[in-house]
Amino acid sequence: MKKIIILAPYPYEEAPSQRFRFEQYLSYFEKNNWTWKLESFWNMQTWRILYKPGFNFQKTIGLLSGFLRRFFLLFKLSGVDIVFIHREAAPVGPPLFEWIIAKVLRKKIIYDFDDAIWKPNVSVTNSFANRVKWYGKVKRICKWATTVSCGNKYLCDYAKQFNSDVRLVPTTIDTDYHLPNKKNLNKIPVIGWTGTHSTTYYLNLLIPVFKKLEEQFDFELRIISNKDLKLPLKSYHFINWNKETEISDLQAFDIGIMPLPDDDWSKGKCGFKLLQYIAVGVPSIASPVGVNNDIIIDNKTGWIAKTENDWLEKLSFLLKNSEERKSVVEKATEHLEKNYSVKATQSKYLAMLDEVVKKN
């Protein structure tokens, strides 16, 4: 049996980035002679309070505890075939652990990321984190890695400046878990969005659009998140994200949305909101930014909206025409299953692990 240690920021099955990048492949790896262990930087106790106001002492203890666990982990890597690093080994400071793993311990590293993490995130929520981040570490880890795994072409182009072995491994959906629901349409149409509270500012782009829609239509703007975003809209309805009800909550959407600003950070996004919507049979509208242009083929697998007026026109059209909403679902599902499903990608992922092991 070959062994892989995964260094990731968050506890197992708690963060979308990890779930959609690699966690959903782990059982498949086990069936193909790999054992794995995930070592998160944040423990569960700290994760539960990390984005809540206050708790500064507990967060500091959690940070120090994370560094301590990373230090002791270095002494447990002797029998490991691959060290898989998702985003970074530690959330602040230079890439010390990565350097030791690559240059001192001489371990083979797969470095995986699904955002433009070499750039500051413009989210207000993350303003403090931006001040203590060490953004220059990304290019250095790319240089030291045996192989770099990226979620879209934009990220790959960045990594190729520093490493000759860069693989495009798209963020994918488990279509055995995310299933469409053959339901009747809601009496009042539901426009839905799902995401963490740190990406609230994406929705702020459309607040003027929703206010205009509220003057013409009776609809619900349903938001699934880990924190109530308290948007200033009468159509707004919040649902707390819950893994147990995640699929049924998504299935209850009539229209899924993914607005993004056209900036470098957004170009690095890997589109898993869209993938979730499509997988559960929800027609979607998205900004033409980054991988969204590959997932959504306008008027075939969904709709593209570039300007505020585009969003207003297309949402108005779809609120009035339920049959048009249904028209893209079949083609969108076929496109997803062929290009963005776990089944379509798992053999490529496994081949990457086996090829890295064989490298000198």
Average pLDDT over residues 290-309: 93
Q: How far is 25 from 23, CA to CA, in rounded Å?
A: 5
Contact 272, 262 (CB under 8 A): no
Residue 214: pLDDT above 80?
yes
Query: In the prediction, which pLDDT does 130 show?
Result: 52
Mean pLDDT of the chain: 91
Please give the pLDDT value at position 251: 93
Burial class of 204 by CB neighbour count within 10 A (0 to 12, 13 to 18, 19+): middle
Task: Residue 212: name the closest of 286, 115, 358, 312 by CA.
Answer: 312
Structure-token match 């500012």, residue found: 201
324: pLDDT strictly greater than 80: yes
Tokens, residue 41: 């930087």
- Arithmetic mean of pLDDT, 152-176: 94
190-339: same fold as 2-171+342-358? yes
Fold classification of 190-339 (topology level): Rossmann fold (3.40.50)
How large a percentage of the chain has pLDDT more than 90? 72
CATH, range 2-171+342-358:
3.40.50.2000
Per-residue confidence band for 121, with pLDDT thresholds at 50, 70 and 90? low
CB atoms within 10 A of CB 248: 12
State the sign of the Cα–Cα–Cα–Cα dihedral 251, 252, 254, 259: negative
Number of residues that make up the chain: 360
Q: Output the pLDDT for position 42.
A: 96
| pLDDT: which is higher, 345 or 185 | 345
- The domain ranges of the chain are 2-171+342-358, 190-339
CA dihedral 9, 12, 13, 15 (to 10 degrees): -10
Please indicate whether residue 162 or residue 272 has the higher confidence score (pLDDT).
Answer: 162
**Cα(269)–Cα(295) distance, integer angstroms:** 12
Cα angle value 90/270/16 (rounded, 5°): 55
If you average pLDDT over each of 84-98, 130-144, 251-265, which comes out highest?
Answer: 84-98
- Measured between alpha carbons, how far is 318 from 151 in angstroms, rounded to an integer? 30
For 17-42, what is each residue's pLDDT tens digit? 898 899 999 999 999 999 999 999 99
